[in-house]
Amino acid sequence: MNLVLPPRLSELLAAEPDPSFVGRLGPVLEGAARAIARLGDLDLVRYEDAPIDESADLSLWEELAPVVGSTIADVNALLTELSTQFPEGEAHFEPKPLAVEATLRQGAQELRSGVMAFGMRVRDPSVVGDRWNLIGELQAFRLRFRDRIGALVFEVASHLGECRRRDVDPGYVEELSAALLVRSTSADLRRLMRARVQQVAEAPQMDVAWHARQIEKELNAFGRTAAWRAFRAQDKRAVLEFRTRVKALETPALEHRELDHAELLALLEPFAAFCDELEAANRREVLVAHDLEVLAALGPTLEQAASAASREQAREALLEALAQAQALYGRSADLDVGLRRLKKTPPTVETVRGDLEQFVVLVSRLSAV
């Protein structure tokens, strides 16, 4: 696996005056980058293709056992590299190497404890005996350790010089892209299901079954989105369970009667509430940091639009701000509505002042949160 460290991380290493220190730290950071890449290089979707209530039988465990083993091995390889380059008992007198080694040792201790905890979890009958618990545990471990190793790289890099995590963490860009994709896609699912609740409640009796079929089609399409791979296993399970139950409404018993509003709403309303809970993804650290950066960049652009000498210049600045704000889609239902409206009907020189005023209000509400 050919690895290239992030440019800022390479710059910090190159600026270090002690070649011996760099010669030992470099392989550790490369090992961290390798572990992050390997822990992210797994698609669990093919293991999900089974009935939602199917247990994790022996065949699934046998199929996943090599993945569990390689997952542990990937983390242990980094720990081995770290102990090789920075063995116990060495004495350091320079402040920077001393601080770096202390950070590495603390990180290594946390990783070892995590590996042991994971090993115990995958021996737990409640995990091994349930397909979704097993997949979820494996997914969560890999994501958690990618994040911890990335944080460790950032902590080390911070001792070397000024940096941002996004500029030195080898997995940051990929993690952020996945988080943004999940957020925007789940926001659309949330909006879609809330609209369906209202449509079903107001639909004529004869149309309720049609809505059930449409919901099934929408969830099938949702399962084919690029974001599906990055969704948490337990969230996928909830989606698949709901889809299966909606499909079950199309039973032979209904051939002689029409599907009732209450039957469909009894499934749809709790699922819509579940979709609302997906908004909790906004509290992920990677998204919080990203959103603060976007909001900070939006401020000057909106000021430029407000102080523009002409309406055409104001329109160009507002269009730039709207493009920047697309990265916040899914953060707020109100902002999402505004972004969709202005995408469907872009600002003109005639409407730019009113559109700008409304958009500034939406952004200010985000900034106040």
Q: What is the pLDDT of residue 256?
A: 57
Contacts of range 226-231, beta carbons closer than 8 Å, 24 or more positions apart? 226/181, 226/185, 227/178, 227/181, 227/182, 227/184, 227/185, 227/186, 228/45, 229/43, 229/44, 229/45, 230/178, 230/179, 230/181, 230/182, 231/182, 231/186
Q: What is the pLDDT of residue 122?
A: 83
pLDDT digits (tens, 9 = 90+) for 114-156: 999 998 888 888 887 787 888 888 888 999 999 999 999 999 9
pLDDT digits (tens, 9 = 90+) for 239-265: 999 999 999 887 655 555 678 899 999
Would you place residue 45 in the very low, low, confident or very high pLDDT band (cuts 50, 70, 90)? confident
Would you place residue 368 in the very low, low, confident or very high pLDDT band (cuts 50, 70, 90)? low
- Whether 6 has a pLDDT exceeding 60, the answer reads yes
In this structure, how many other beta carbons lie within 10 angstroms of the beta carbon of residue 163?
19
- Return the minimum-mean-pLDDT range out of 35-44, 203-212, 253-262, 294-303: 253-262
- Whether 3 has a pLDDT exceeding 90, the answer reads no
Average pLDDT over residues 70-76: 92
Average pLDDT, rounded, for the chain? 89
